[in-house]
Amino acid sequence: MLDYLCRSGIVVPATPGGRGRGRKRMYSFGDIVFLKVITRLLQAGVSVKRMKDSFAGMNRKFREMGETSRIPGILVTDGKSIYFRDRDKKLVDLMSGQQCFAFLVELNPIRKEVIKQAKLLKSA
């Protein structure tokens, strides 16, 4: 699979060792993180073709990442499209580059609120 991802241009090793059988490829820390992301997206049902179309510029961002770096955002998928949500909570379709509307509800703060209200009712 790794060879296929390299041949399709989705993953390009930070230090290419050249083409051909038996040539070593050198991957950066960011490349490894990017490969983990690809694995998760494949498990979510995203096709390799969609990833290739969506990740044109993302490989560069991951390559610049080090062990202490942080990517200010999250990837979101519906199994077909891949979206990037940045720190300003803007959601962008990576394939088209267009902003999208999505309403995300974080469950943990709601759970904490219900616990707090239940404690207040219990003590009343």
Number of domains within the chain? 1
Query: Model confidence over 70-109: pLDDT tens digits?
Result: 767 788 887 778 888 877 878 888 888 888 877 667 788 8
Considering only residues 114 and 22, tell me which one the structure prediction assigns the higher pLDDT.
114
Name which of 107, 59, 99, 108 is nearest 76 in CA terms: 99
pTM here? 0.61
Considering only residues 114 and 28, tell me which one the structure prediction assigns the higher pLDDT.
114
Secondary structure in 3-state letters for the chain: CHHHHHHCCCCCCCECCCCCCCCCCECCHHHHHHHHHHHHHHHCCCCHHHHHHHCCCHHHHHHCCCCCCCCCEEEEECCCCEEEEECCCCEEECCCCCEECCCCCCHHHHHHHHHHHHHHHHHC
Considering only residues 26 and 17, tell me which one the structure prediction assigns the higher pLDDT.
26
105 in Cβ contact with 70 (< 8 Å)? no
Q: What is the pLDDT of residue 18?
A: 58
Query: Model confidence over 46-73: pLDDT tens digits?
Result: 888 888 877 765 655 565 666 666 767 7
Structural domain boundaries enclosing 118: 2-123
**β-pairing verdict for 82-86 and 91-93:** antiparallel
Cα separation, 62 vs 91, in Å, equals: 18
